[in-house]
């Protein structure tokens, strides 16, 4: 296939991986890789919000694309657990301030249920990822990797090539790295912190350091003043990031990895590590998956802004497939997400689903293929037949009026949303859709989506109605009793009444919403009548 034949971004990247002929920086020919590893990773020191799942979800798409192109890829997840604790997260005792600057693997579990802070958060992370990712992942811990000596071959080469390493980085620096610079960051043997030891020199492959205060943005890691000597090959420390990333690629034979769009610029850690990997470690730079970060209402997610969306919150209003769909849809042109946008996201997803199962078609065949692929790759498990669909805003309305799903199903039949005999799976799907929609309506939706039905019109609202409004609504009640109608018939009935009443459409609709919902606006009136039922609507209108 030609490159342009791959319509979906992950298929294009997979193709780039298998078709590339030479190293990026040094132009040397590339041997066919023995392994195709896709790496995804996370630091365990921050909050786990839905934005942090994007790297893994997108990495998995490239992994699946490689599988589909007949390769035998491997998908790995690396816990960057040598990262120091930077500040005390919510819910963790103040006494943990003494651990600031220590690797999270060496700090006790604040809840006492795991061997360490890192183990605790890692198990939470893996638990969450398993809900959003369907492929098997091999899990690695950097702390364990160093301790086992798995990085020693790379550490050795990097230490021997310190001058070359500095040269690569200095090209992008206004101030060159100091003479004492080393790619190895030791852990202080006295206090166990990793951020505080300042390298003072390197002698015969050993790194000398002095443990000094380190200032984070808002906190300080206290140094203990200890002066020590560290042997990098003993694994008590880590490579600095602009050396470690390159070594990870070589260690696991990584062919592709995701990175935020800020890494796209020349001189970023991605390219510097690429150069280090190729020029010093002899390993070709992986094909990057650069992506846009998820914004919430136009802002970056952060605990201090209070706009963090946790995976558990997402799963209350939408299935994992919807988040996968959102991340897979576009890599670089991601719109900001807001809870108001959720019904549109559902609609978009449902349209793709219809196309995938051949229930709907569009003229542009390329776009149609793209939609199918996007839908397919966003699934955790593909269903052999098309799942039952209910428009999300309709489900939101229905779920607020009827708590029991049996009643809701009756209405869905009446409104034509259900036309087939329901299987167990269909009923489960309806139940979960109603649950998602109800949670969304009650927690996040704008006022116009909130609904509660008064049994009879409220005295106060009746006073607001004009005589023509009253008689039009009474007329509507009477006509609704005459015969059972479908959506189209109710629609034309409404317009008949509007025309004969002399009211403007807004005057008529406002009156109807005031009586039926005790508010000035609402969902489409035709739909609302179908949901409430003709008879019950008539009963309310007769009491005007
Ligand atoms: Zn625990
Ligand atoms: Zn120390």
How much distance in Å is there from the Cα of 316 to the middle of ligand 1? Answer: 24
Query: Among residues 442, 434, 449, which one has the least CA distance to residue 519?
Result: 449
- Give the tens place of pLDDT for each residue, 95-144: 999 999 999 999 999 999 999 999 999 999 999 999 999 999 999 999 99
Q: How far is the CA of 90 from the centre of ligand 2 (A)?
A: 26
Ligand nearest to the CA of 107: 1
Ligand nearest 114 Cα, by number? Answer: 1
| Ligand closest to CA 188 | 2
* Residue 491: per-residue pLDDT: 95
Q: Give the ligand with the smallest distance to the CA of 117.
A: 1
What mean pLDDT is predicted for residues 445-453? 84
Q: Which residues contact 476 (CB under 8 A, 6 or more apart)?
A: 493, 494, 497, 512, 541
How far does residue 199's CA lie from ligand 2's centre (Å)?
A: 12
Higher pLDDT, 187 or 415: 187
Distance 107 CA to ligand 1 centre (A): 12
pLDDT reading at 214 higher than 90? yes
Please tell me the number of the ligand nearest to residue 116's CA: 1
Q: What is the DSSP string of 307-363?
A: ----HHHHHHHS-HHHHHHHHHH-SS-PPPB-GGGHHHHHHHHHHHHHHHTTSS--S
Provide the pLDDT confidence category of residue 188 given band limits of 50, 70 and 90: very high
- Measured distance CA(32)–CA(255) in Å, rounded: 11
> What is the model's pLDDT at position 449?
83
Please, what is the average pLDDT of the chain?
A: 93
Determine the distance separating the centroid of ligand 1 and the alpha carbon of 120, expressed in angstroms: 4
Average pLDDT over residues 486-506: 94
User: What share of the chain in percent tops pLDDT 90?
Assistant: 81
CA distance 425 to 408: 16
- Exposed/middle/buried for 84, CB within 10 Å: 0-12, 13-18, 19+? buried
The arithmetic mean of pLDDT across residues 456-462, rounded, is 86
Rounded to whole angstroms, the Cα distance separating 449 from 435 reads 15
pLDDT at 4: 56
Residue 195 CA to ligand 2 centre (angstroms):
9
- How do residues 107-119 score in pLDDT, each as one tens digit? 999 999 999 999 9
CA 146 to ligand 2 center in whole angstroms: 20
What confidence score (pLDDT) does residue 177 get? 95
Q: Is the per-residue pLDDT at 2 higher than 60?
A: no
Which distant-in-sequence residues (6+ apart) come within 8 Å of 287 by Cβ? Answer: 13, 16, 17, 20, 255, 256
Is residue 448 predicted with pLDDT exceeding 90? no
Q: Cβ(74)–Cβ(35) under 8 Å?
A: yes
How close is the Cα of 313 to the center of ligand 2, in Å?
A: 40
Residue pointed to by tokens 């943990």 = 96
Q: How far is the CA of 224 from the centre of ligand 2 (A)?
A: 4
Q: What pLDDT sits at residue 44?
A: 85
- Return the minimum-mean-pLDDT range out of 82-86, 169-173, 275-279, 302-306: 302-306
pLDDT of residue 3: 52
Per cent of the chain over pLDDT 70 is 99
**pLDDT value at residue 454:** 80
Helix (H, G, I), strand (E, B) or coil at 214: strand
Distance of CA 211 from the midpoint of ligand 2 (Å):
5
* Ligand nearest to the backbone CA of 115: 1
**Ligand 1 centre and the CA of 523: distance in Å?**
46
Convert the pLDDT of each residue in 433-444 to its tens digit: 999 999 999 999
The tally of CA atoms less than 13 A away on the side-chain side of residue 403 is 2
pLDDT digits (tens, 9 = 90+) for 309-360: 999 999 999 999 999 999 999 888 777 899 999 999 999 999 999 999 999 9
- Distance (Å) from CA 320 to ligand 1 centroid: 25
Instruction: Give the three-state DSSP class for 84.
Output: strand
Distance 91 CA to ligand 1 centre (A): 13
Q: What is the per-residue DSSP string for 507-522?
A: HHHHHHHHHHHSSS--
pLDDT at residue number 48: 86
pLDDT at 21 over 60: yes
Choice between 47 and 111, residue whose per-residue pLDDT is larger: 111
300 CA to middle of ligand 1, Å?
28
């Amino acid at each position: 296939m030609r490159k342009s034949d791959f319509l979906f971004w992950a298929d294009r990247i997979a193709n780039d991986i298998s078709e590339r002929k030479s190293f990026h920086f040094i132009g040397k020919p590339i041997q066919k890789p023995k392994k195709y590893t896709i790496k995804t990773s996370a630091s365990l020191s921050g909050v786990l919000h839905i934005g942090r799942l994007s790297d893994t979800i997108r990495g998995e798409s490239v992994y699946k694309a490689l599988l589909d192109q007949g390769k035998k890829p491997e998908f790995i997840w690396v816990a960057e657990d040598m990262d120091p604790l930077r500040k005390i997260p919510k819910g963790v005792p103040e006494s943990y301030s003494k651990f600031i600057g220590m690797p999270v693997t060496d700090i006790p579990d604040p809840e006492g249920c795991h061997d360490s802070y890192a183990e605790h958060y890692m198990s939470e992370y893996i638990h969450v990822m398993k809900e959003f990712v369907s492929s098997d992942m091999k899990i690695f811990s950097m702390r364990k990797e160093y301790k086992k000596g798995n990085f020693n071959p790379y550490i050795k080469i990097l230490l021997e090539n310190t001058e070359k390493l500095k040269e690569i980085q200095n090209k992008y620096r206004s101030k060159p790295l100091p003479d004492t610079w080393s790619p190895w960051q030791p852990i202080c043997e006295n206090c166990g912190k990793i951020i505080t030891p300042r390298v003072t020199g390197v002698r015969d492959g050993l790194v000398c350091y002095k443990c000094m205060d380190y200032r984070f943005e808002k906190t300080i890691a206290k140094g203990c003043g200890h002066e020590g000597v560290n042997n990098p090959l003993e694994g008590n420390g880590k490579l600095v990031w602009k050396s470690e990333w390159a070594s990870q690629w070589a260690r696991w034979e990584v062919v592709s990895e995701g990175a935020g769009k800020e890494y796209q610029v020349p001189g970023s850690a991605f390219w510097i590590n690429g150069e280090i990997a190729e020029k010093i470690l002899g390993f070709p730079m992986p094909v990057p998956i650069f992506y846009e970060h998820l914004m919430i209402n136009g802002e970056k997610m952060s605990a201090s802004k209070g706009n963090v969306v946790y995976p558990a919150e997402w799963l209350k209003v939408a299935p994992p497939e919807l988040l996968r769909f959102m991340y897979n849809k576009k890599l670089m042109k991601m719109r900001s997400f807001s809870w108001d946008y959720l019904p549109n996201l559902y609609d978009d997803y449902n349209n793709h689903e219809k196309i995938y199962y051949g229930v709907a078609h569009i003229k542009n065949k390329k776009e149609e293929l793209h939609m199918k692929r996007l839908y397919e790759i966003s699934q955790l498990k593909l269903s052999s037949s098309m799942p039952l669909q209910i428009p999300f805003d309709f489900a939101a309305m229905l779920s607020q009026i009827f708590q029991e799903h049996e009643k809701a199903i009756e209405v869905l039949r009446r409104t034509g949303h259900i036309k087939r005999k329901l299987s167990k799976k269909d009923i489960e799907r309806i139940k979960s859709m109603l649950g998602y929609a109800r949670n969304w309506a009650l927690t996040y939706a704008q006022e116009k989506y909130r609904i509660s039905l008064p049994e009879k019109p409220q005295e106060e609202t009746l006073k607001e109605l004009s005589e023509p409004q009253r008689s039009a609504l009474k007329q509507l009640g009477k006509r609704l009793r005459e015969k059972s109608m479908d959506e189209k018939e109710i629609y034309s009935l409404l317009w008949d009444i509007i025309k004969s009443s002399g009211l403007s459409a807004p005057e008529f609709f406002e009156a109807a919403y005031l009586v039926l919902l005790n508010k000035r606006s609402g969902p489409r009136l035709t739909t609302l009548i179908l949901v409430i039922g003709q008879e019950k609507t008539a009963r309310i209108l007769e009491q005007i």
